[in-house]
Structure 1
Amino acid sequence: MSDNGRLGVFKTYKLFVGGKFPRSESGRVYEVTDSKESTWLANAPLASRKDARDAVVAARKAFGRWSGATAYNRGQVLYRVAEMLEGRREQFVREVADAEGLSKSKAAARVDAAVDRWVWYAGWTDKIAQVAGGGNPVAGPFFNLSSPEPTGVVAVLAPQESSLLGLVSVLAPVLAGGNTAVVVTSERAPLPALSLGEVLATSDVPGGTVNLLSGRTAELAAPLAAHADVNAIDLTGADPELATTLEAAAADNLKRVLRPRTEDWSADPGTRRLTAFLETKTVWHPTGSLGASGSAY
């Protein structure tokens, strides 16, 4: 109860799947507390395997539209997300401070770093092709060009101890490359991630491009690693034992797997996470004059 005797309105956190905010299909929730486990913060949805499968369906449906957009347009959309994050800065500072046990000033610094990192990756959308692709030397009457293309649907296990900056560090490069994502949020501190879903929903990101699931990391990661329609998985948020199990499951369906070093996400951003979920397409074309039909021969 507030000082004026008025009852506060508690926020209801929901999943973010297909551009909508469903509760878990199971109806389950779990208690989220502060970093000291002494203060209750909210009930978060406890997503199920069925929720994970629904998220994959949504991500696959959105892939054509997101990957088919121009790189410049994707950069504009991601920059818009950063604008929206900046506009809700105070909310995220409060949520990050509660989630990670930080002072307001330290939480503000992490939120600012998350916004800056999102902007950094937004700027790479129309530049990564020049870094990861290019013309190749060929001995013969041909020219040969390589260009990066998105891998597809990427399952992302968010870092456990960093509720927002860590999430942005693993999600933004996946999106910048033209992939769609199914994200398993930090199990202990999911609230800032679920609030990010509200930002995405009110920006220009197509529904289904990002899908956010809160709950037990191991419970949700297992079906994602085994899912034949998931093309890649980022194991950042998995402990070593779980990561090994998930790698084995992913090998059965030939997924790309990123198993980063400890705290890999916390380093200065770079192109490694961008190229981790890009495929290289190489095109050969004959050189020569144009014939009457206008085609090369």
Structure 2
Amino acid sequence: MSDHRLNVLKTYKLFVGGRFPRSESGRVYEVTAATSAPGAAGQGDWLANAPLSSRKDARDAVTAARKAFGGWSGATAYNRGQVLYRIAEMLEGRREQFAAEVAAAEGLSGARAAAQVDAAVDRWVWYAGWSDKVAQIAGSANPVAGPYFNLSTPEPTGVVAVLAPQESSFLGLVSVLAPVVVTGNTAVVATSEKAPLPALSLGEVLATSDLPGGVVNLLSGRTAEIAPTLAAHQDVNAIDLAGADGALAADLETAAADNLKRVLRPQPVDWSADPGTDRLLAFLETKTVWHPMGV
């Protein structure tokens, strides 16, 4: 028997509504490996052809996210935490695959890429644990004059568009995605433009977990092409501009103002640092109710 085998290359697809469509336009773009060699141009060997998402793909993803919002936001916080923990379990089982993809995407050594994946899984678990605790830090019982209970409780904002960090293909992605969905929002994610493969592989994990279809939708392609559609879309309630440069972010913020979207502006972030609760609270609304004491 010959020792030579056909190299079976992986086909990467979008993840929208719990399914794996190709871009409706049929377009793809080349994804190449990053290189950390001194003086190198920053790109290496060909890795794959990733789908090049269109504006129609972005609109389809928003539709899927809106459809999923009612069920996901209506689930108990405990249930959402269990679903996210299950995703972390599955990521742990595919640790070697993600480490190899991150190493190629970011030009890291195997050990450093594995450390990035470990940190991403740990962060996913950390956010999962906040699901039934965030109400204790974001809600309150308010003192009022009169025989009433006055209670403020956090609620999800709705459909959140997320521009994933460009340089941190997996840890950065988890750091912006997990806090959006653990609080009951649904997400449309524009992945890192030059390093989308770890994100698209995450879609395979989400599809085989307990996460309902449409809660997370992943679009690869040109950020500058996808983002304006999401920022201007009237059924998107908020946008995280983490993966946008200064000029693009300013244009997107202007477009987002048309329907008063919540906007999280881009800022320098060390994705390996303690994330804190800022992103966890960024896409929550506060509902305040009055109730008579019955006395």
Asked if 1:198 is matched to 2:197, the reply is no
* Cα pair 1:142 1:284 within 8 Å, conserved: yes
Asked if 1:175 is matched to 2:181, the reply is yes
Q: What residue in structure 2 maps to residue 210 of structure 1?
A: 216
Alpha-carbon distance, 1:288 to partner: 2.7
| Aligned residue type for 1:267 | A
| Aligned residue type for 1:81 | I
Q: What residue in structure 1 maps to residue 45 of structure 2?
A: 39
CA distance in 2 between partners of 1:88 and 1:177 (Å): 25
| Aligned residue type for 2:108 | L
Q: What residue in structure 1 maps to residue 157 of structure 2?
A: 151
* Cα pair 2:249 2:266 within 8 Å, conserved: no
Asked if 1:261 is matched to 2:260, the reply is no
Asked if 1:142 is matched to 2:141, the reply is no
* Cα pair 2:243 2:266 within 8 Å, conserved: no
Asked if 1:59 is matched to 2:65, the reply is yes
Q: 1:67-98: per-residue Cα shift (whole Å, max 9, x none)? A: 01000000000000000000000000000000
CA distance in 2 between partners of 1:75 and 1:123 (Å): 6
Q: What residue in structure 2 maps to residue 4 of structure 1?
A: 3
Length-normalised TM-score, structure 1: 0.95
Aligned residues: 287
Asked if 1:17 is matched to 2:23, the reply is no
| Aligned residue type for 2:31 | V
Report SS of the residue matched to 1:39. strand
| Aligned residue type for 1:237 | G
| Aligned residue type for 2:117 | V
Q: What residue in structure 1 maps to residue 38 of structure 2?
A: none
Q: 1:20-42: per-residue Cα shift (whole Å, max 9, x none)? A: 00000000000000113120000
Alpha-carbon distance, 1:266 to partner: 4.4
CA shift in 2, pair 1:264/1:222, >3 Å: farther
* Cα pair 1:170 1:265 within 8 Å, conserved: no
* Cα pair 2:244 2:266 within 8 Å, conserved: no
Q: What residue in structure 2 maps to residue 114 of structure 1?
A: 120
Report SS of the residue matched to 1:38. strand
* Cα pair 1:169 1:266 within 8 Å, conserved: no
Report SS of the residue matched to 1:105. helix
CA distance in 1 between partners of 2:239 and 2:289 (Å): 27
* Cα pair 2:83 2:209 within 8 Å, conserved: yes
| Aligned residue type for 2:154 | P
CA distance in 2 between partners of 1:266 and 1:281 (Å): 33
Identity fraction in percent: 81
* Cα pair 2:14 2:22 within 8 Å, conserved: yes
Alpha-carbon distance, 1:141 to partner: 1.7
CA distance in 2 between partners of 1:157 and 1:185 (Å): 7
CA distance in 2 between partners of 1:264 and 1:112 (Å): 16
Alpha-carbon distance, 1:267 to partner: 3.1
CA distance in 1 between partners of 2:123 and 2:7 (Å): 34
Length-normalised TM-score, structure 2: 0.96
Report SS of the residue matched to 1:95. helix
Alpha-carbon distance, 1:4 to partner: 2.1
Q: 1:263-291: per-residue Cα shift (whole Å, max 9, x none)? A: 264431211101100000000112233xx
| Aligned residue type for 1:155 | A
Alpha-carbon distance, 1:253 to partner: 1.0
Q: What residue in structure 2 maps to residue 278 of structure 1?
A: 284
CA shift in 2, pair 1:44/1:114, >3 Å: same
Report SS of the residue matched to 1:112. helix
* Cα pair 1:159 1:236 within 8 Å, conserved: yes
| Aligned residue type for 2:5 | R
Moved over 2 A (4+): 264-267
Q: What residue in structure 1 maps to residue 86 of structure 2?
A: 80
Asked if 1:242 is matched to 2:240, the reply is no
| Unmatched tracts of structure 1, length 5 or more | 290-297
Q: What residue in structure 2 maps to residue 224 of structure 1?
A: 230
